Amino acid sequence: MKKTLFIQAIAKYLFGMLLVALLLFLPAGTLRWPRGWLFMGILFVPMLGAGVVMMLKNPDLLRRRLNARERELDQKQNIALSGGMFIAGFILAGLDFRFGWLQLPAWASVCAALFFLLGYALFGEVLRENEYLSRTVEVTAGQRVIDTGLYGVVRHPMYAATVIMFLMMPLALGSLIALVPFLAYPALIARRIRGEEAVLERELPHYTDYERRVKYRLLPHVW
């Protein structure tokens, strides 16, 4: 079973790396794009490390993270829209580098890369705290409410981390114009959260009590 999981994880990892590289470097028209390689590094090196840790310590969590088959129609639509956002943003970033439309200074990309890694660190902490995390909206057998650590601050710390990460992606690539598609992400994640909470309220015991205790979804004192 672990061998099958390992092969599945490696295959998805390599496919994702190849796809992102094609979406970035083909529009850029060259492989000589330092910020493109910077982005590939900050995205895929931590991803590999997280995958190895999950494979060794919690293969069930890795299996759930690899599952992307949504049951809810709204969530399927969110996945499709998010995919379009990534494709448009990466292509625009490559074209921006190629034609020099709205390039950011190097220091801005470095700062964005650091904020991206901060978001990745928060994401890693969420993975450590919540062994029930899945890429799909579902409630698994034996699942319980997690209300400690970051989950004691906001109800969806994983999504908060992804908001930081995804908004920093085009800036790390040095493209202001590529930020435009990614600005749709907060709205998409808000839509996903509403749908997910409806499922959790219906299927996860004590989740409504948790909502009363932890009032904010993504950002304390805001929402």
Render 183-215 in DSSP notation, one character per residue.
TTHHHHHHHHHHHHHHHHHHHSTTHHHHHHHS-
In the prediction, which pLDDT does 35 show?
Answer: 97
Whole-prediction pTM: 0.89
Indicate the domain borders of the chain. 2-213
Which of 3.30.300.90, 1.10.10.10, 3.40.50.1820, 1.20.120.1630 would CATH assign to domain 2-213? 1.20.120.1630
In the prediction, which pLDDT does 134 show?
Answer: 63
In the prediction, which pLDDT does 51 show?
Answer: 85
CA angle 87, 90, 96 (to 5 degrees): 135
In the prediction, which pLDDT does 176 show?
Answer: 96
Per-residue pLDDT of the chain (223 residues; tens, 9 = 90+): 577 888 888 999 999 999 999 999 999 999 999 999 999 999 999 999 888 888 888 787 777 777 766 666 677 788 889 999 999 999 999 999 999 998 999 999 999 999 999 999 999 898 888 877 765 656 666 678 888 889 999 999 999 999 999 999 999 999 999 999 999 999 999 999 998 898 888 888 888 999 999 999 998 888 8
CA distance 200 to 181: 29
List % helix, strand, coil for the chain (3-state, nearest 5).
70, 0, 25
In the prediction, which pLDDT does 183 show?
Answer: 96
In the prediction, which pLDDT does 136 show?
Answer: 61
**What are the Cα distances from residue 196, in Å, to 147, 191, 203?**
17, 9, 11
For residue 136 the two structure tokens come to 């799909």
